[in-house]
């Protein structure tokens, strides 16, 4: 059975799709509208009561939460070397960055896109958005400082966290007043290298087409 992925372009599901491509796995996309303010489709709620993508379906059932899905896939197809093995000296750092990206950084983006998730009052939205922007600035700076001169997030080891970094870098948008990627030159250097990969050409045809 091939994997199935509850999916929407420009969402975190796009990062999972990149990982599936990198791992050379067959998968079927279940296109999901996450833009509407209305209730989420029952098929999505049946596999993730939070109504969020991504959700990966495999033989044993669904898994949601990006960090979990990425770790699960990389470990399951470990021959592709996208995650350091349990016991490897880089395993802890791998998990740190993956979960930092999929929780802290992703959440800061959400504050700028979906302030209504963080405040019950419309009047609270501008404050949430402003705080989200502040967090984005400081969190990307933390990543940039951690990379320094290193070729990849885990020194010489290319891994799924570099792919995740690339995906998040594509979310930076003038439209929301986000900082420019060029402000974080070390992040940009890694994102540019990931962008050369065939998986990105397949999953992000518009981005690649624009360069």
Ligand X SMILES: N[C@@H](CCC(=O)N[C@@H](CS)C(=O)NCC(=O)O)C(=O)O
Binding site residues, ligand X, CB under 6 A:
11-12, 34, 51-54, 64-66, 102, 106, 110, 114
Nearer to ligand X, 11 or 159 (CB): 11
Query: DSSP E strands: which ranges in 19-80?
Result: 27-31, 55-58, 61-64
Q: Do 35 and 9 touch, CB atoms closer than 8 A? A: no
The secondary structure of the chain in percent helix, strand, coil, rounded to multiples of 5, reads: 55, 10, 30
Identify the residue whose tokens are 């896939």. Answer: 73
Q: How far is the CB of 103 from ligand X (least distance, A)?
A: 7
Q: Which two tokens stand for residue 162?
A: 């570099």
Q: How far is the CB of 173 from ligand X (least distance, A)?
A: 14
Rounded Cα–Cα distance for residues 187 and 184 (Å):
5
Nearer to ligand X, 61 or 87 (CB): 61
Q: How many CB atoms lie within 10 A of CB 114?
A: 15
120 forms bridges with which residues in the sheet?
Answer: none
Element (H, E) at 203: helix 198-203
Which DSSP symbol is given to 40? P
Nearer to ligand X, 12 or 153 (CB): 12
Rounded Cα–Cα distance for residues 64 and 57 (Å):
9
Nearer to ligand X, 117 or 186 (CB): 117
Nearer to ligand X, 12 or 128 (CB): 12
**Cβ partners under 8 Å of residue 126, min gap 6:** 115
Q: How far is the CB of 15 from ligand X (least distance, A)?
A: 9
Q: How far is the CB of 148 from ligand X (least distance, A)?
A: 27
Q: How far is the CB of 155 from ligand X (least distance, A)?
A: 25
Q: How far is the CB of 12 from ligand X (least distance, A)?
A: 4
Nearer to ligand X, 36 or 196 (CB): 36
Q: Which two tokens stand for residue 166?
A: 């690339």
């Amino acid at each position: 059975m091939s994997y199935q992925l509850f999916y929407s372009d420009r969402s975190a599901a796009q990062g999972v799709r990149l990982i599936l491509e990198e791992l050379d796995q067959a998968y079927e996309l279940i296109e999901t509208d996450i833009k509407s303010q209305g209730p989420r489709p029952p098929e999505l709620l049946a596999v993730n009561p939070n109504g969020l993508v991504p959700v990966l379906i495999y033989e044993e059932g669904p898994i949601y939460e990006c960090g979990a899905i990425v770790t699960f896939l990389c470990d399951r197809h470990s021959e592709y070397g996208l995650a350091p093995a349990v016991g490897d000296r880089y395993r802890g750092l791998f998990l740190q960055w993956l979960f930092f990206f999929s929780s802290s950084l992703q959440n800061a983006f959400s504050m700028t896109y979906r302030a209504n998730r963080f405040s019950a009052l419309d009047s609270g939205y501008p404050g949430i958005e402003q705080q989200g922007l502040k967090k984005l600035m400081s969190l990307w700076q933390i990543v940039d400082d951690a990379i320094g001169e290193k070729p990849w997030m885990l020194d010489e080891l290319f891994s799924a966290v570099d792919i995740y970094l690339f995906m998040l870098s594509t979310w930076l948008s003038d439209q929301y007043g986000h900082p420019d990627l060029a402000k974080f030159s070390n992040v940009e250097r890694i994102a540019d290298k990931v962008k050369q990969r065939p998986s990105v050409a397949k999953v992000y045809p518009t981005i690649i087409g624009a360069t």
